[in-house]
Amino acid sequence: MIGISLTAWMLLAMPEAADGIALSAVSGLVPGGALPMSVLSVLGSDRLRSVPDDDEGASKQPHSVFAKLTPTGKEKGCCGYPLGEPGTYKLTYYWLAYESEYANEPYEIEIYTRQGFPIGRFPRAFVFELRLEGSGVLRDGRLINYDGRCAYGIGTCYQTLDPQSHPFGKGGQQRALLPFRSVAVDPRWVPLGTPLYMPELRGMKLPDGTIHDGCVRADDTGGGIRRREIDFFVESYANYKYLEEQLFHDHKVTPMIEEPRCTYLRQFDPGVDRRSESIDEIAVSFFKKPPPKPPVVKKPGKERGKAKTTGRISQHIPPKSERSSRKKQV
């Protein structure tokens, strides 16, 4: 029993001697009766082979287990939360209206400021595009922007912008528009000031040679922008044609919010951004259709040329012209 205890203690203290003891027991150096067959079977197996120590805790694992993978952290640059199913938002474009493109046409339409002062007389086609786009550049270099409705002129007023603060136009909440960064949205669905990530725009080559990273910002609104639509500001019609060819005329995008790689676009007043994000979620989520119009009930009108129904025998009443002619004859 002392020999067995001493042998077991040696195996526990020095596992690397297991192979030598097993070989001695088999070769006869250690009496075969001193060790039971269960101990000899364990000594002959691979369970007591030493495992080299390392810094990753591999000594606690058997030798047949593969080495641990190098732990890696979460990717901080991905990913945001999509605003809808893939491809459920429609992408459109808008740009500045340039008066110089219509210089050969007659100048016949006047536009005014909100205070009633005339800005000038312009071609009809330019005024039509100006009302559609919202901002325009005049031939003298002035930049004018939509300023609401008015009761004179064409019914739409404009204002002259400062090129230092708003070089490409003014959006909602006095925000300055930036080409290839600003988008017009429906503020009921996307709050103003929200950075958006659109994977469809990532990797697109811009006219100046740079590569778009897919990040845009909700800076503007529009009368024709409703619900799931995003209007991309591209500064000119030529830029629109250049980008449209790269997207293969595919107008379906998947905007994402809370994207870490687009946080650098939050450069406006934080207080204004917080007020913009407090939208009516219930009104947006549960869209109610307007109530149906009541059916129009036509009132029965007086039927001419018919005799009045009375209890007596109906008499024919001649027209007024016939009665007057009879009086003259008499």
pLDDT on residue 235: 93
Q: What is the pLDDT of residues 193-230, one digit of tens each?
A: 999 999 999 999 999 999 999 999 999 998 788 889 99
Three-state SS at 211: strand
In whole angstroms, give the CA distance from residue 74 to residue 263: 18
Long-range own/partner contacts, residues 42-51 (CB < 8 A, 24 or more apart): 43/11, 43/18, 43/19, 48/11, 48/15, 48/18, 48/19, 49/15, 49/18, 49/19, 50/15, 50/16
pLDDT on residue 266: 87
In whole angstroms, give the CA distance from residue 3 to residue 22: 15
pLDDT on residue 151: 85
Is 42 exposed, middle or buried, given 0-12, 13-18 or 19+ CB atoms closer than 10 A? middle
What is the end-to-end Cα distance of the chain in Å, rounded? 161
pLDDT on residue 272: 72
